[in-house]
Amino acid sequence: MATTRILLILLLCSLSISASAEPPLKAAFIRDQQLWIKEGDQEIQVTKGKNVYSQKWSYDGRFIGYLDQQDRKSALYIYDTKEKVNYQPYIEVETFDFQWSPTKNQLAYNDHGVLNVTKTERGRPQGFDNVALGVSEFAWFPNGREFIVSSSAVLRPTGWGPVPLYRISADANLNVEKIKPFYTLQTDEKDLFAIDVSNFKWSTDGKWISFLATPTASWAMDSNTLAVLSSQGKEFQVIGNMLRFDDWMKWAPSANQLAYISGEGRFLVENKKTTIADTPISKQQKEYTPKGYVDLDLEWFSSENVIVARAKENKKWKEGPVPTMLTTLYAINIKTDKQTQITSPRKNELDEKPQVVGSKLTWFRRNKENEQGEVWIKDGLDGQEHVWIKQADSAPVFLY
pLDDT tens, residue by residue, 52-82? 999 999 999 999 999 999 988 899 999 999 9
pLDDT tens, residue by residue, 269-291? 999 999 999 998 867 899 999 99
Question: Predicted confidence band at 14 (pLDDT cuts at 50, 70, 90)?
Answer: very low
The CA–CA distances, whole Å, from 325 to 192, 329, 341 equal 31, 13, 16
Question: Predicted confidence band at 21 (pLDDT cuts at 50, 70, 90)?
Answer: low
Question: Predicted confidence band at 19 (pLDDT cuts at 50, 70, 90)?
Answer: very low
pLDDT tens, residue by residue, 25-42? 999 999 999 999 999 999
This prediction has a pTM of: 0.92
Beta pairing partners, 329 = 309
What per-residue confidence (pLDDT) applies to 16? 43
Residues 88/78, Cβ–Cβ less than 8 Å: yes
Name the burial class of residue 236, with classes exposed (0-12), middle (13-18) and buried (19+) by CB atoms within 10 angstroms of its CB: middle
More confident residue, 196 or 72: 196
Find the range with the poorest average confidence among 186-195, 296-305, 318-327, 348-357: 186-195
pLDDT tens, residue by residue, 245-261? 999 999 999 999 999 99
What per-residue confidence (pLDDT) applies to 280? 87
Residues 214/195, Cβ–Cβ less than 8 Å: yes
Query: How many percent of the chain have pLDDT more than 70?
Result: 94
Is a pLDDT exceeding 60 seen at residue 317? yes
Residues 168/151, Cβ–Cβ less than 8 Å: no
Is a pLDDT exceeding 60 seen at residue 383? yes
How much of the chain is in helix, strand and coil states, percent to nearest 5?
5, 50, 45
3-state secondary structure labels for all residues of 67-78? EEEECCEEEEEE
Distance CA 377, CA 393 (A): 17
Helix (H, G, I), strand (E, B) or coil at 256: coil
Question: Predicted confidence band at 15 (pLDDT cuts at 50, 70, 90)?
Answer: very low
Residues 47/35, Cβ–Cβ less than 8 Å: yes
Is a pLDDT exceeding 90 seen at residue 301? yes
Is a pLDDT exceeding 50 seen at residue 296? yes
Is a pLDDT exceeding 50 seen at residue 9? no
Is a pLDDT exceeding 50 seen at residue 320? yes
249-251 and 373-379 strand pairing: unpaired
pLDDT tens, residue by residue, 372-381? 999 999 999 9
Question: Predicted confidence band at 5 (pLDDT cuts at 50, 70, 90)?
Answer: low
Is a pLDDT exceeding 90 seen at residue 8? no
Is a pLDDT exceeding 60 seen at residue 133? yes
Distance CA 179, CA 165 (A): 10
The closest alpha carbon to 200, from 229, 224, 179, belongs to 229
Is a pLDDT exceeding 90 seen at residue 191? no
Question: Predicted confidence band at 23 (pLDDT cuts at 50, 70, 90)?
Answer: confident
